[in-house]
Amino acid sequence: MGKDLILVESPSKAKTINKYVGKNYIVEATVGHIKNLPKTKLGIDIENGFTPSLLNIRGKGDVIKKIKSLASKSEKIYVATDPDREGEAIAQDVVDVLDPKHHPKIERVLFNEITKKAVNEALTKPLKIDYHLVISQRARRVMDRIIGYKVSPFLWRAVLDSNGSSLSAGRVQSVALRLVCEREEEIEKFIPTEYWSLVAVFKTEKEEEFVAKLYEVNGKQIKLPPKPKMTDEEWEEFFKTNFAISKEDIAKKIYDELINKNNYVISDISKKESKKNPYAPFITSTLQVEASRKLRLRPRRTMMLAQQLYEGIDLGSEGTTGLITYMRTDSTRLSAEIVSEARNYITERYGEQYLPEKVKSYEQKNKKNVQDAHEAIRPTSLKYTPEFVKEYLDDYQFKLYDLIWKRFVASQMESARLETTSVNVSSDIYTFRSSGTTLLFDGFLALYDETTEDNSEKSDGTGNIPAGLEVDQKIILKELTPNQHFTKPPARFTESTLIKELESNGIGRPSTYAMIMGTIVDRRYVEQVDRKLIPTNLGKKVNGVLIKNFPDIINVNFTAQMEEELDLIANGETNYLQVLNDFYVPFSKDLAEVEANLEKIICEKCGGELDLKIGRFGKYYACTNYPECKNIKSLKEVAGVSNEPEYTGETCPQCNSKTVYREGKFGRFIGCEKYPDCNFTKVITLGMKCPKCNEGDVITRRTKRGKIFYGCNRYPDCDYASWTMPKPSEEEQLESNSSEDEY
């Protein structure tokens, strides 16, 4: 009797599940997607209902062959890919590859958490593939491909970066870039407004001191003017109900009046009790935001670590188990079982006073199209406290798990109670105010509190109010300080605040936020400086070209509408063709206008037209009269970028031609000017021996994402690699000094 086959995406997930299900099952990984659109052509039949041409991914032949072989020997086949759109699409690809006619016993199972109990329960409750989710993913993929394939060639002609590399556009990434660029424009155009504050230090007869800020003048509250420049009429309207200390002479006049007064009294004391409610358990976006704030983790790194916690950690005698539920979710729903477990833990650990009378619920009433298929991100069991698992996790795995665990438990704790005391100090027409907050009951704050983006709370310097103050009590002015201020421009986005902005506009979904952030940085459209996102010159150029030529598509509202329609497909409320038509009609209109105004590229050899082609080594232009005319040109030549080679001053040892500097996938290198007729290449070394093998030379290299590192030119024989440049040996330094002297 054959074994049953379970198919998942990840090898590590397969390893964990294999330990739970016993010898009657074989668990195999697809290692991600096994089908995709073709790389070198559109792969979508637009005229025939936007039908995609999905092909087996190059390099996945052995994986597919193994899956087919295992399936042919299996009684049942369970497809257990991730419980979201991408996972559902992979499941459908697996079914298509295996062919249900030959394997009728293919069933779908969903694991919201990778624990022994959850896995074995899911296997007893198999499902059918959710066709609506699959079609929703296909529609998203088709939209992205059409925009990328149709818009990118236009960008390649309109803009080139400093290396002459080709550029690309994306449906969501381009909108994210637009938001960053528009914020930068706001900052550049911002006109600061001057304003002043007067801060006093008062003391009582008991020599107790407190700080207060001038709050009202003649019953009018001090406020900032709404605009940097206002007309006389606007100022008159403003001053009817408000007062502004907008200039130094106004501040000085008030200061001169106040500094000599000796009739300050406490005119009012008010106390107000309030509650601070716990935060909802994490969803994907809030996890990425908070991990960025507290742990300084980029969204991509956060999701990688969360994936590891989800797929399973070896806990020694406990075995391998998944520590958190599925990390791509926009639902705050929690199971009754885990809530009950949390309430028991809170009572035992903190006491009855920390347990709310009713279960805390976090329904997202005002959020459209929440995918409620699975729960919020939470621990799989409160048995696995952060202290319990710490020795089995690396530093950042632990920090992220600790964050998730505390956020979840705190979400079920009692609210904190605060008391805010406000004291008014008056003298004639002037009133100062000091406010302070006292924590009456810490509640969930005993376990967890969020931090602000800059990890500091805003303060005007007030807040420490002595006990026992009374109305009409006379006090003494000890100090008075006028402070000049200027309004600040809006803050630049960080990755976390940009995710919040995208989410608030209905753009992006749990599975895409990290990819969006990574893409705009990897393409060098945006750079991070002190964690702030700043558009590069390249990013500004790309954004300008896209907004000018595709205003209806690279648009926040349109993109949000498309995301909503994709969700409607997933819910079975609309169909694939309707959504693709809603997208393509305005897009094709913009595209037609752009193409009509696009100057044709004429072949100087035959008078034909040069057309864009994609080959093994990238993009280039070729004559449409091929094979009669074999003229080709690089993107740089077509764009008018100088293609003059940069000579090294040396000759090629193979053919005696000149050698030139070239740019490759992993950085700069030296090559022969006669390439491809002569294939001589030479790495550019840093003039120092490898500190590990002492045979090779240290060279500068780049990762796939463009980050520079230093390695040995004898790789793979020597695997030396370092993020920091190694120091030259004493001999190399002497040699270097000698060379400089000789020069």
When pLDDT is averaged across residues 3-8 and rounded to a whole number, the result is 93
Find the farthest-apart pair of alpha carbons in the chain and give their distance in angstroms, rounded: 102
Give 507-537 pLDDT, tens digit per residue.
Answer: 988 888 888 998 898 888 998 888 899 998 8
Domains of the chain: 4-129 (3.40.50.140), 143-190+492-596 (1.10.460.10), 194-273+418-486 (2.70.20.10), 284-411 (1.10.290.10), 600-644 (no CATH), 646-742 (no CATH)
Q: Model confidence at 703, in pLDDT bands (50, 70, 90)?
A: confident
* Whether pLDDT at 671 is above 50: yes
Query: How many other β-carbons are positioned within 10 Å of the β-carbon of residue 488?
Result: 10
Nearest-10 Cα torsion for 72, 74, 76, 78: -80
Give 385-395 pLDDT, tens digit per residue.
Answer: 999 999 999 99
Q: Which helix (H) or strand (E) holds 233?
A: helix 232-238
What confidence score (pLDDT) does residue 729 get? Answer: 47
486's tokens: 């200027």
Please state whether the peptide bond connecting residue 676 to the residue before it is cis, i.e. omega within 30 degrees of 0: yes
Q: Model confidence at 667, in pLDDT bands (50, 70, 90)?
A: low
Q: Which amino acid is at 23?
A: K
Distance CA 45, CA 584 (A): 13
E strand intervals along 361-475: 416-427, 430-441
Q: Which amino acid is at 364?
A: Q
Helix (H, G, I), strand (E, B) or coil at 450: coil
* Whether pLDDT at 278 is above 70: yes
Point out which residues pair with 723 in neighbouring strands.
none
- Say which range, 44-53, 83-92, 552-561, 697-706, has the weakest mean pLDDT: 697-706
- Say which range, 22-31, 428-437, 653-662, 663-672, has the weakest mean pLDDT: 663-672
Point out which residues pair with 417 in neighbouring strands.
275, 441
What confidence score (pLDDT) does residue 682 get? Answer: 79
Give 192-218 pLDDT, tens digit per residue.
Answer: 888 999 999 999 988 999 999 999 999
Predicted model pTM: 0.78
- Report the phi/psi class of residue 218: left, alpha or beta, with left for phi > 0 and alpha for psi in -120 to 50: left
* Whether pLDDT at 61 is above 50: yes
- Say which range, 301-305, 356-360, 369-373, has the weakest mean pLDDT: 369-373
What confidence score (pLDDT) does residue 536 get? Answer: 87
Q: In terms of Cα–Cα distance, which of 220, 221, 230, 222 is closest to 193?
A: 230
Give 614-663 pLDDT, tens digit per residue.
Answer: 665 567 788 989 889 989 887 667 665 555 566 666 788 888 888 887 76
Q: Model confidence at 458, in pLDDT bands (50, 70, 90)?
A: very low
- Say which range, 13-22, 270-279, 558-567, 713-722, has the weakest mean pLDDT: 713-722
What Å distances lie between residue 155 and 65, 143, 170, CA to CA? 39, 18, 12
Task: Say which residue, 694 or 81, is predicted with more confidence.
Answer: 81
Distance CA 492, CA 513 (A): 18
> Catalytic annotation on 25?
no
* Whether pLDDT at 40 is above 80: no
Helix/strand/coil (H/E/C) assignment for every residue in 33-97: CCEECCCCCCCEEHHHCCEECCEECCCCHHHHHHHHHHHHCCCCEEECCCCCHHHHHHHHHHHHH
Q: Model confidence at 421, in pLDDT bands (50, 70, 90)?
A: very high
Place of tokens 């052509």: 41
37's tokens: 């659109």
CA 654 to chain centre: 48
What backbone torsions phi and psi does residue 417 show, to the nearest 5 degrees?
Answer: -115, 130
- Say which range, 168-177, 179-188, 648-657, has the weakest mean pLDDT: 648-657
Q: Model confidence at 594, in pLDDT bands (50, 70, 90)?
A: confident
| Arithmetic mean of pLDDT over the chain | 86
Query: From the candidates 20, 310, 326, 576, which is the catalytic residue?
Result: 326
* Whether pLDDT at 39 is above 50: yes
438's tokens: 């006292």
Distance CA 179, CA 174 (A): 9
What confidence score (pLDDT) does residue 366 get? Answer: 45
393's tokens: 């996790």
519's tokens: 């893409």
Q: Which amino acid is at 661?
A: Y
Give 295-338 pLDDT, tens digit per residue.
Answer: 989 998 999 999 999 999 999 988 899 999 999 998 999 999 99
CA angle in degrees (0–180, nearest 5) for 650-652-656? 100
What confidence score (pLDDT) does residue 453 get? Answer: 47
What backbone torsions phi and psi does residue 298 show, to the nearest 5 degrees?
Answer: -75, 150
When pLDDT is averaged across residues 67-92 and rounded to a whole number, the result is 91
Please state whether the peptide bond connecting residue 38 to the residue before it is cis, i.e. omega within 30 degrees of 0: no
When pLDDT is averaged across residues 103-127 and rounded to a whole number, the result is 89
What confidence score (pLDDT) does residue 644 get? Answer: 58
- Say which range, 33-42, 250-259, 305-314, 489-498, has the weakest mean pLDDT: 33-42
- Say which range, 71-85, 195-209, 590-604, has the weakest mean pLDDT: 590-604
Task: Kindly provide the b/e burial profile for residues 188-204, where b requires at least 16 CB atoms within 10 angstroms of the residue's own CB.
Answer: eeeeebebbbbbbebeb
Q: Model confidence at 161, in pLDDT bands (50, 70, 90)?
A: very low
| CB contact set of 619 (below 8 Å; sequence gap of 6+) | 153, 156, 166, 612, 613, 635
490 neighbors 448 (Cβ within 8 angstroms) = no
E strand intervals along 104-263: 106-108, 194-203, 209-217, 220-222, 242-243
When pLDDT is averaged across residues 286-301 and rounded to a whole number, the result is 92
114 neighbors 324 (Cβ within 8 angstroms) = no
Task: Say which residue, 481 or 601, is predicted with more confidence.
Answer: 481
Most confident of 37-41, 287-291, 361-365, 696-700: 287-291
